[in-house]
Structures are given as structure tokens and as C-alpha cells.
Amino acid sequence: MPASRLSRTPLPGIGVRYDLTTREHRNLSVIAEREGGRILNAYREDDPDACALSLRLTAGESEALIDALMPAHHSPNLLHTTDLGLVAERVELAGTSYWNGRVLGDTRMRTETGVSVVAVLRRAEAIPSPGPDFRLAGGDTLIVIGTREGAEAAADILGRE
């Protein structure tokens, strides 16, 4: 039996559409909206272009569904895990964070947690390898790599108000 296929299509201004064709030749799609919501679509078996079911899910509902599908391995911010026990994770900096407007080096994140900040996502821009003098801003998403414990500690540090 052939394996399932997944394709990814950017939707400018909206998010990303993921299309899955299952081994049973059923078509599903998920539209991942930039604000965190999801639209789950299932298409008719007799007409793969006709939508049989469309569900709009909040970010929380999407998380609950993902947890149901992958209960042992899901974190909504998790990007990747390896056999070495490392994770790459997104950590958001709230506008109310103590670190809003301060430089990255002042967080002492690498020293305190062992994680490395490999990039910062700010609006539509990605800043790779930010140095210790990089000024953080509310709404930034930091991409960190380290152990699971280190990533959680980094999120705690950045969550300080």
C-alpha cells in the first residue's frame, strides 16, 4: 500500500495550507492561520475537490487535537527533537516581559540554561545568530536549541515580568 503524502503551500497574509493524501486516497487539509487558529477540511471520497467537512479550531482546540493524536511527544512550540536529547523550540517574548527592550546578553540565558538562541523572528523578518547586544522586543519569537529542561528554563527566564 503506498504511503501518505503531505504537501505545504504558503498562503500569503493567512498562513500555511497542509494537504494530506492518505494511504486510502482520502484528502485532508489543514490551514494553519498566522494567529494560531486552524481550519481542518475533509474531502468527499467520490469527489476529492468537494469538501465534506470543515471545522474551524481555536489554537487551544488545535493543541488538544494534536495531543490526542500524539500524546507523548507534543509541545506546540517544539520544532525538532534528536536522538541526542536536544530540542529546537520557539519561545515567545511577551510585551510585558522584563526583557522587553533589554539586550539578549543580559538574560544570561546560555549561562543559566545551556540553550543557544539561534534566531529571532520579528514580524516578517528572521534574524539569525543574534549576538549578546541584540535588543529584544515584545512579540519576538526566539528559536532556542538545547535540552528540554534548558528550553523550559529559557521560557521561564523570558516570561519574567
Please write the tens of the pLDDT for every residue from 77-123. Answer: 555 555 677 888 889 999 999 999 999 999 999 999 999 999 999 98
pLDDT of residue 79: 58
What per-residue confidence (pLDDT) applies to 85? 75
Which of 16, 6, 20 is closest to 39 using CA atoms? 16
**For residue 65, what pLDDT band results from cuts at 50, 70 and 90?**
confident
| pLDDT at residue 1, rounded to an integer | 41
Residue 18 pLDDT > 60, yes or no?
A: yes
Residue 34 predicted with pLDDT over 90: no
Average pLDDT, the chain: 86
CB 139 within 8 A of CB 93: yes
- Position 160 confidence tier, pLDDT thresholds 50, 70, 90: confident
- Percent of the chain at pLDDT above 70? 88
Residues present in the chain in total: 161
For residue 69, pLDDT over 90 is answered with no
Domain boundaries, the chain: 5-69, 78-158
Angle ∠(148,154,160) on CA atoms, nearest 5: 140
Cell numbers given for 51: 469538501
**CATH class for the domain made up of 78-158:** alpha beta
Hey, which bits of the chain come out as E strands?
Answer: 5-11, 15-21, 27-33, 38-43, 51-57, 78-81, 86-92, 116-122, 125-128, 141-147
Render 12-32 in DSSP notation, one character per residue. Answer: TTTEEEEEEE-TT--EEEEEE
